[in-house]
Structure 1
Amino acid sequence: MEPKKNPKADLTKNSGMYFVIGLAVVMLIIWRALEWKTYDEQTTYDVSLNVEDMLDEEVPMTEQIKTPPPPPPPAAPEIITVVEDEVEVEETVIKSTETSQEEEIIEVDDIAVEDVEEDIDVPFAVIEDVPVFPGCENEKDKRACFNDMMQQHIRKNFRYPEIAQEMGVQGRVSVMFVIQKDGSIGNVRMRGPDQNLEKEAERIISKLPRMTPGKQRGRAVRVPFSIPITFKLQ
């Protein structure tokens, strides 16, 4: 059997060039495919308004109507009183505020002013004339004599409460009272550690005699006075 292929034919000749050309063609086709652009079909419409049709219509013209202001309210009718000729009408007489020479003018010095006595309290330490304790009338220092007589009165009438002794209660009771304008003792107040001691201090003060009241500027006044009474167990 004879071979059909020509032994002189070289099939591999120019194969490299053909490969390169084919590759270039393929790359060109791929590039054109990637760069290919498509556009949607555009339809143009006439969007202009038909102005002529709109102008054919008659547009009514409007005018601003001015409303007249409301009329003013009618004035209130005057009340006219008809008076008959026979009726007498009293006329209003306006008296003058000026004084006449016939009126008597009272001078200020002729008006008597009554002195109103006010109840005032003047403390014992600052009063001009201190209250006089019975027995101190002839003493020069009536203030010192008053204090001495008060101490003598407390010692003379002092009595320790039995209940306070049994309970062992002791302490100081502050006593406040007022020597009234008539010399009597009033408004007695106590403050101490025990009620029994306070009652005993009140009993002692209640036995004070009537005194000569204190005076301020020659007038009798009320004089507050305070003194401590000490209760101490031995």
Structure 2
Amino acid sequence: MKKILLITFFVIGGMGVSNAQEQTTPVWPGCENAEDQKACFNQKLSEHVRNNYEYPMNDNNEYVRGKVTVSFDINEEGKVVVNSVEGPEPEVNQAAREMLNKIPKMKPGTLQGEPDSRTFTVPFNF
């Protein structure tokens, strides 16, 4: 009987800890009913990059390529706020910033049921 009570306390205590830390990821438009909203978010972000990144051109009419690391927040209102775009090619950095600014407004992530800002840091090779 003592073992059952002890196990019950651990289970109930564990549930309280997990509920206190309950988090949800931001929900990209079109992912509302997805079984795995995080995977859907990543897929939609990849599609957004493919559809919205415009390669800059140099003075020789050649595409400028490069690697960037971007950091952005999805704030409590579901809007994207670009924190930084870092890479060796200024033209690529600017094109990446413009692409990020086109990310649609979404349902924000939550922490304990309240809207919560989330920071994402992602490397891209363009």
Per the TM superposition, whether the score is higher than 0.5 is yes
- Partners of 1:230 and 1:187 in 2: how far apart? 18
Q: Does 1:146 align with 2:41?
A: yes
Q: Write the deviation string for residues 60-83 of structure 1: whole angstroms up to 9, x where unpaired.
A: xxxxxxxxxxxxxxxxxxxxxxxx
Q: Give the TM-score, by structure 2 length.
A: 0.76
Q: Does 1:129 align with 2:24?
A: yes
- 1:162 aligns to what SS in structure 2? coil
Q: Which runs of 5+ in 2 are unaligned?
A: 1-20
Which of residues 39, 57, 61 in structure 2 aligns to 1:162? 57
Q: Does 1:191 align with 2:93?
A: no
Contact kept? 1:176, 1:224, Cα under 8 Å: yes
The one-letter amino acid paired with 2:93 is E
The equivalences for 1:221-232 within 5 A come to 221-231=116-126
Q: What is residue 171 of structure 1 aligned with on the other side?
A: 66
Aligned-pair identity in percent equals 34
Q: Does 1:204 align with 2:83?
A: no
Q: Write the deviation string for residues 166-196 of structure 1: whole angstroms up to 9, x where unpaired.
A: 4774321111100000001114310001110
- Partners of 1:151 and 1:167 in 2: how far apart? 24
Aligned CA distance change for structure 1 residues 193 and 204 (closer, same or farther; 3 Å):
same
Aligned residues: 106
Contact kept? 2:67, 2:124, Cα under 8 Å: yes
Q: Which runs of 5+ in 1 are unaligned?
A: 1-125
RMSD over aligned CA atoms reads 2.1
- Partners of 1:164 and 1:178 in 2: how far apart? 34
Offset, 1:159: 1.5
- Partners of 2:59 and 2:86 in 1: how far apart? 16
Aligned CA distance change for structure 1 residues 184 and 168 (closer, same or farther; 3 Å):
closer
Q: Does 1:218 align with 2:116?
A: no
Of 180-189 and 204-213, more deviation after overlay is shown by 180-189
Say which one has the larger Rg: 1
Q: Give the TM-score, by structure 1 length.
A: 0.42
- Partners of 2:114 and 2:83 in 1: how far apart? 23
Aligned CA distance change for structure 1 residues 164 and 175 (closer, same or farther; 3 Å):
farther
Which structure's relative contact order is higher, taking Cα pairs within 8 Å and 6+ residues apart? Answer: 2
The one-letter amino acid paired with 1:149 is K
Contact kept? 1:173, 1:198, Cα under 8 Å: yes
The equivalences for 1:74-153 within 5 A come to 128-153=23-48
Offset, 1:209: 0.3
Aligned CA distance change for structure 1 residues 164 and 153 (closer, same or farther; 3 Å):
farther
Stretches of 4+ aligned residues off by more than 4 angstroms: 164-169
Higher share in strand: 2
